[in-house]
Amino acid sequence: MVTTEQAAPGLDDQICLALYTASRALTARYRSLLAPLGLTYPQYLAMVALWEDGPQSVARLGERLYLDSGTLSPLLRRLESTGLVTRTRSTDDERSVIVSLTERGNHLRSDAAGVPEAICLSTGLDVDTLVTLQKQIVALADSVRTTTQALQPA
């Protein structure tokens, strides 16, 4: 029997709801900022990874974005069809596909430069608070992934 003291937190007290609604709100704001650039939110994340790290394998990009190949491949196909990236077989390992920015993809970086600041302003939080929050959320996600992996049967 569950007593009042043992009852699960109410809906408004669930961390999952808070994270879910925050994510949806941020994604909607990104969507409005990215539409003029012709990018979806996941495409923008892929572009940021490429702007930051340069050419990389599809596998590495998937790791960076926490996306499996079934999700990443169509995303990259669309970016390639719009002339923002190229995909080529690695000369070192023909099983590996390397994703690189095109000239147009590199130029898009300057068009997207204002997106992080606009997102920051949308939150109503100062930069230091956002940096702290981002680190806490990353630590939370890492902890959940680690704990989940440790609980998996061998």
Is 139 part of any domain? yes
Residue 4 pLDDT class (50, 70, 90 cuts): low
Q: Which pair of structure tokens corresponds to residue 52?
A: 């930051």
Same domain for 57 and 130, yes or no, is: no
Given a cut of 60, whether residue 20 has pLDDT beyond it is: yes
What SS3 class is residue 87?
Answer: strand
Q: Please write the tens of the pLDDT for every residue from 40-91.
A: 999 999 999 999 999 999 999 999 999 998 999 999 999 999 999 999 998 8
Angle among Cα 150, 12, 1 to the nearest 5 degrees reads 70
- Model pLDDT, residue 144: 93
What SS3 class is residue 126?
Answer: coil
- Model pLDDT, residue 5: 64
CA-atom Rg of the chain in angstroms? 19
- Model pLDDT, residue 151: 78
For the chain, the distance separating the N- and C-terminal CA atoms, rounded to the nearest angstrom, is 33
- Model pLDDT, residue 22: 96
CB contact at 8 A, 109 and 54: no
- Model pLDDT, residue 92: 85
Full domain range(s) for residue 140? 114-148
Same domain for 42 and 103, yes or no, is: yes
For the chain, how many structural domains are there in total?
2
Same domain for 26 and 99, yes or no, is: yes
Partners of 57 in the beta sheet?
A: 98
- Model pLDDT, residue 95: 87
Distance of CA 83 to the CA centre of its chain: 21
CA distance 33 to 30: 5
Q: Please write the tens of the pLDDT for every residue from 97-136.
A: 999 999 999 999 999 999 999 999 999 999 999 999 999 9
Kindly state the average pLDDT of the residues 9-24.
Answer: 94
- Model pLDDT, residue 90: 84
- Model pLDDT, residue 88: 95
What SS3 class is residue 123?
Answer: helix
Is 61 part of any domain? yes
Residues 6+ apart with CB under 8 A from 95: none
